[in-house]
Amino acid sequence: MFPYIEIFGRSIGLFQIMLLCGIFSSGIYACLTAIKFNLDYTDVIIFILLLSVGAIIGSYLLYILVNYRKIIFIFNNINAFKNILGVLQYIFSGSVFYGGLLGGIFTGYILIKKNNVYQKYVDIIFASIPLFHFFGRIGCFLGGCCFGISCKFGLMFTNNPIPEANGITRFPVQLLEAFFNISLFFLLNHLLNKGKFKNNLLYVYLIIYAIGRFFIEFLRGDEFRGIWFYLSTSQVISILIVLTVLIKIFIIRKRNKIIN
């Protein structure tokens, strides 16, 4: 685990570097795929940038919701912070992927309602998300967050910024999810190129990812993600996503039967 590297005497977080790799790789993939399908890649870039705004907001909002105790702590110890920047840094010290995903979907829904031209880029966007997430989970492994449960085989952290992660052999769950995401990327890319599930690749991604994430969560050892009725926040969201998608598919199929 290497949370930082030294460049010209400055420490740079490898998690941030991996996020940048994910952003550039998924963005390049989306643009090249748009060109391949004779679509305007500039619209893809604009769409991604707008979705990113919603994703960033959503990821922080869900983090705050999950870690609501931080907000309570701040109000009870407001004098402990020297300035507003200290308060904001404490509140926004992390993010949640599912919050970003849901925030991006909500933003995309609004954008498509206002300008239907973005609809044709949805499949490309959702095929690229697992590629971004792959690099993100590699970043989690290098940075030491989202660590796994203790087990007899695995890796032992010794300089993790999160103290409770150190000194215990832990399952490398971040690498498992990275492998899961890159596999999902290749699957979605294959379906996209074959023209299968056209305009419905969103549902394929959500179903597969939500089911995979639900089971992967059992191998997580950190408690920062929140526990609700013996399930993590991500597991609860995964269940809700699967149910929502299944209901949506049922409604679509029923509507198509009526039309036919």
Is pTM beyond 0.75 here? yes
The predicted-structure confidence for 123-173, as pLDDT tens digits, reads as follows 999 999 999 999 999 998 888 888 888 888 787 877 777 777 788 888 999
Q: Which two tokens stand for residue 203?
A: 């549902």
How far, in Å, CA of 96 to CA of 119, rounded? 26
How far, in Å, CA of 14 to CA of 6, rounded? 10
Whether the Cβ atoms of residue 149 and residue 172 lie closer than 8 Å to each other: no
Sign of the C-alpha dihedral computed for residues 258, 192, 22 and 164 taken in this order: positive
* Mean pLDDT of all residues belonging to the chain: 86
Confidence of residue 178 (pLDDT cuts 50, 70, 90): very high
Contacts of 166 (CB under 8 A, 6+ apart): 156, 157, 158, 159, 160
Per-residue three-class SS string for the chain? CCCEEEECCEEEEHHHHHHHHHHHHHHHHHHHHHHHCCCCHHHHHHHHHHHHHHHHHHHHHHHHHHCHHHHHHHHHCHHHCCCHHHHHHHHCCCCCHHHHHHHHHHHHHHHHHHCHHHHHHHHHHHHHHHHHHHHHHHHHHHHCCCCECEEEEEEEECCCCCHHHECCEECCHHHHHHHHHHHHHHHHHHHHHHCCCCCCHHHHHHHHHHHHHHHHHHHECCCCCCEECCEEHHHHHHHHHHHHHHHHHHHHHHHHHHHC
For residue 85, the model assigns a pLDDT of 60
Q: Which two tokens stand for residue 114?
A: 């206002």
The amino acid occupying position 113 is K
Mean of pLDDT values over 100-115: 94
- Position 256 pLDDT exceeds 90: no
Whether the Cβ atoms of residue 196 and residue 244 lie closer than 8 Å to each other: no
The predicted-structure confidence for 30-82, as pLDDT tens digits, reads as follows 999 999 999 999 999 999 999 999 999 999 888 888 777 766 766 666 665 55
How far, in Å, CA of 17 to CA of 20, rounded? 5
